[in-house]
Amino acid sequence: MKFEFEQNREILTVKIQGELDHHGARALRESIDNEIMASAARGLIIDLAGLEIMDSSGIGIIMGRCKLMETLGGHVCVAGARAAIKKVILLSGLGRLVGLCETAAEGTNILRSTKKIV
């Protein structure tokens, strides 16, 4: 698994590629949390367009970042999830906590439309 960050004002995007499983989940979680705190992000886009496989640890990653962003007054969008991964997100109930969108750009628009994020 590889991941990288992009910052656009108060919106932080993490692009995840490869396979997200329990082996890499801890490092990803810690990296995202550190970037959120260092950047003072109010919006987080988790871009899964390059993700091929995700196990239950991916659900934990998303859920935990939702809770963190909520405590900071922010919001989360998940972008680009393949059909199978999107299905897991919806079946887990995460669809009620995050915005689901096709692209990171669409996620940026959704987060900015909350009127709390510039």
Task: Judge contact between 83 and 50, C-beta under 8 A.
Answer: no
Q: Distance between CA 52 and CA 71 in Å, rounded?
A: 30
47/85 Cα distance (integer angstroms): 12
The whole-number pLDDT of residue 117 equals 60
β partners of residue 16: 3
Percent of the chain clearing pLDDT 70 (strictly above): 97
Third-level CATH fold of 2-112: Transcription Regulator spoIIAA (3.30.750)
Low-confidence ranges of the chain (pLDDT < 70): 115-118
Q: Where in the chain are the domains?
A: 2-112
Record the pTM: 0.94
